[in-house]
Amino acid sequence: SSHWGYDVDNGPSSWHQSFPVAKDGSRQSPVDIRNEETERDPTLQPLVLKYDPRSSKTIANNGHSIQVDFDDTTDQSVLKGGPVTGSYRLRQFHFHWGSCDGRGSEHLVDGASFAAELHLVHWNSEKYADVANAAIEPDGLAVVGVFLKIGAANPALQKLLDAFDSVQKENTKADFKNFDPSTLLPPCLDFWTYLGSLTTPPLLESVIWHVLKEPITVSSGQMEQFRSLKFTANKPMQDNFRPPQPLKGRKVRRNF
């Protein structure tokens, strides 16, 4: 059977065949954030992201995205605050991007796409034993989404891009130590938050989403470097984003 991907025959519009939650789910992601319809919630705590560069381990091309994995055996790099109680441990971050600069993000803001979107994936280490157990729980994961907007070249991103040569092909991995993911965050952590899902199969409805209002910049040349990575069968890795899904009555809250 054709493993899921982003091609015309195995892409987002066909995922429901193997993962019925794609169609039947009540909290699917991503969504188009219509700012006028969001609700400001003054009870939302500030988002606290404490990352230790010593926890970064490897960079990998997993055939769907480029992903940096972290040592999540202790609470070295954690997310606290925002809508969640407790502490969520950083497991990995990865990206979604387009074949051109006009598209590529998964979440939209008032219908507008960004060139790319960074996802920092954390799991509820106070309630669950590991990420796989957390991933099947409604409060198991907390993902922070950061938009990448075309502008000045981003030096923090360049450190990552310089490692791409060793992971051009699908299912390749290389050491990637001492990387501080907070260098990829914008100065302001204002966010929208809503209950959603993984945006790739198995599309589990276990994610508390925190989408940052402020993008970071990326240059067109840097976007070209993302597109130099390969999917399977030597195809350029690009357009690895799911389109927006119905809100189905969900409220998106904001802390700003």
Ligand X SMILES: C[C@@H](CNC(=O)c1ccc(S(N)(=O)=O)cc1)Cn1ccc2ccccc21
Structure tokens at 96: 């979604």
Active-site residue 6, yes or no? no
CB-based contact 186:154 (threshold 8 Å)? no
Q: Write a three-state SS string for 49-85.
A: EECCHHHEEEEEECCCCEEEEECCCCCCCEEEECCCC
CA torsion sign, 76 to 54 to 156 to 96? Answer: negative
The residue count for the chain = 256
CB atoms within 10 A of CB 138: 12
Supply the minimum distance, in Å, between the C-beta of residue 119 and ligand X. 4
Options 6, 64, 96, 119, the catalytic residue: 64
- The listed partner (ligand X, Zn ion, none) that binds 132, CB under 5 to 8 Å by sort, is ligand X
Residue 143 near ligand X by CB under 6 A: yes
Supply the minimum distance, in Å, between the C-beta of residue 122 and Zn ion. 13
Q: Among residue numbers 100 through 119, which ones bind Zn ion (CB under 5 A)?
A: 119
- Which residue lies nearer to ligand X by CB, 27 or 119? 119
Active-site residue 88, yes or no? no
DSSP 250: P
Binding mask 173-202 for ligand X (x = CB under 6 A): -------------------------xxx-x
Supply the minimum distance, in Å, between the C-beta of residue 18 and ligand X. 11
Structure tokens at 137: 């729980």
CB-based contact 69:205 (threshold 8 Å)? no
Binding mask 119-138 for Zn ion (x = CB under 5 A): x-------------------
Supply the minimum distance, in Å, between the C-beta of residue 92 and ligand X. 7
Residue 210 near Zn ion by CB under 5 A: no
Binding-site ranges for Zn ion (CB under 5 A): 119
